[in-house]
Amino acid sequence: MKQMNLKDIQQVSLEILKEVHSFCIENGIQYSLAYGTLLGAIRHKGFIPWDDDIDICMTRPNYEQFVKTFRSANGLKVIAKQDCYIAFARISDAEKTATSTTLPWTKVEGTGMWIDLFPVDLVEDDYAIYLAKLQKALNLYENQLGARRALPSVSLKSGLKGALKQVCRKLKYRNNRLSDINARLEQLCTSAAGFATAHCTQLACPDASCIEHLPTDYFNDYVDVDFEGNKFKAIKQWDACLSKLYGDYMQLPPEEDRRQHSCGHTQFYWKTK
């Protein structure tokens, strides 16, 4: 198989996004470009030049509807719940592409290029309660990573010290099933569902450096934004959201921070080229 370069990765990701967009429009599902993808749309009218992934988000009801109903004529599949080591979803193209990784605790077998889909959940208005919930999510996320790292078999390929470390991981996490950890994380994420609250957040993949105590009205209205010569959906309040997440988001980061997410540990390949 031929390894994909950055341009290839971006193009396949874009094709996945196009199909997701069409499905959402046809089925009345609201979504928004998110994180670096939304930032790229506004600052670059497309991908951040060094970025190699696409992020979108949906409020929890839209997310659940999408995960349950998405069907693809081009072999795309949703990876979520029991098929996933993580607590959010991915839409993957395993027809044309394949994936390998040097991280043995990352589940990529049978998958190809993907885009990430994050659920946005209601959260309490009280900022202190939100921060406490964020910390709980971060703790669960650390447990999730530990349980994932404990999955590979003990091997002497990494030396005796590496083998002993893996034995210790397996002992430490022997009673921590990934499915249980992710179920607890999802329960935490949705614990404010039905509350009379004016704030929402994304905790399925928590980040201590990215505080997301966002007004729920950010997700009431959506507009079209340009991305690589196409129109996709974004929350109408994209400026307020990006400012809250990134500050002066039109300012480019230092050159040393301009790197691909895969960082050399994950590779993507064409199946037929």
Domains of the chain: which residue ranges? 2-270
Residue 249 carries which DSSP code? T
Q: What are the φ/ψ torsions at residue 182 (nearest 5 degrees)?
A: -65, -30
Q: What are the φ/ψ torsions at residue 86 (nearest 5 degrees)?
A: -120, 175
Q: Which residues pair with 214 in a beta bridge?
A: 200
pTM listed for this prediction? 0.90
Closest C-alpha to 188, from 128, 142, 143, 122: 122
pLDDT beyond 80 at 108: no
What percent of the residues of the chain are helix, what percent strand, and what percent coil, each to the nearest 5? 40, 20, 40
pLDDT beyond 90 at 150: no
Rounded Cα distance, 84 and 93, in Å: 15
pLDDT attached to residue 263: 58
- 7-49: pLDDT as tens digits: 999 999 999 999 999 999 999 999 999 999 999 999 999 999 9
Q: At 104, is the pLDDT very low, low, confident or very high (cuts 50, 70, 90)?
A: low
Rounded Cα distance, 116 and 172, in Å: 30
Closest C-alpha to 249, from 10, 38, 31, 33: 38
